[in-house]
Amino acid sequence: MIMKKLLFTLTLLLGLNLSAQDQKAYQLEDGTIRLEQFYSNGQIQQVSYYWGKVGIGTWLKYDEQGNLIAKAEMRNGRPVRIFRYENGIVTIIDRNKRSITQMKD
């Protein structure tokens, strides 16, 4: 019951649609929660980490074919650096430095 409430709370925080995708949550040894979300075809869509209700660590987002399309470094529930991968170009958004950089992959 507690795990269901936790999943529901995390879903609301992420603004996800429960009927559109499958989710799995795991509690790691240090108390961190790893949340995996899947496309309807079974392919992983996103991996995210939480300490309580706060997003932490490195989040990964994939397209429906399983290719990494974005990565975010989270601190205190906020993305501080975001990497977007598209057509051989990596776009890095650094919120601390207030900069955007693009480079070939």
Cα 86 to chain centroid distance, Å, stands at 17
End-to-end CA distance of the chain: 45
Q: What is the mean pLDDT of the chain?
A: 83
| CA atoms 46, 17, 13, 91: torsion sign | positive
pLDDT of residue 19: 40
pLDDT (mean) for 73-91: 94
pLDDT (mean) for 44-52: 95
Q: Pairing between strand 22-27 and 33-38?
A: antiparallel
Q: Cβ-count burial of 52 within 10 angstroms (0-12 exposed, 13-18 middle, 19+ buried)? A: exposed
Q: Which backbone phi and psi does 104 adopt, to 5 degrees?
A: -75, 140
pLDDT band at 104 (very low <50, low <70, confident <90, very high): confident
The more confidently predicted of residues 104 and 33 is 33
Does residue 13 surpass a pLDDT of 70? Answer: no
Least Cα distance to 56 among 76, 70, 84, 40 occurs for 76
Kindly state the helix (H) or strand (E) to which residue 10 belongs, with its residue range.
helix 2-14
Question: Looking at the whole model, is its pTM more than 0.85?
Answer: no
Does residue 16 surpass a pLDDT of 60? Answer: no
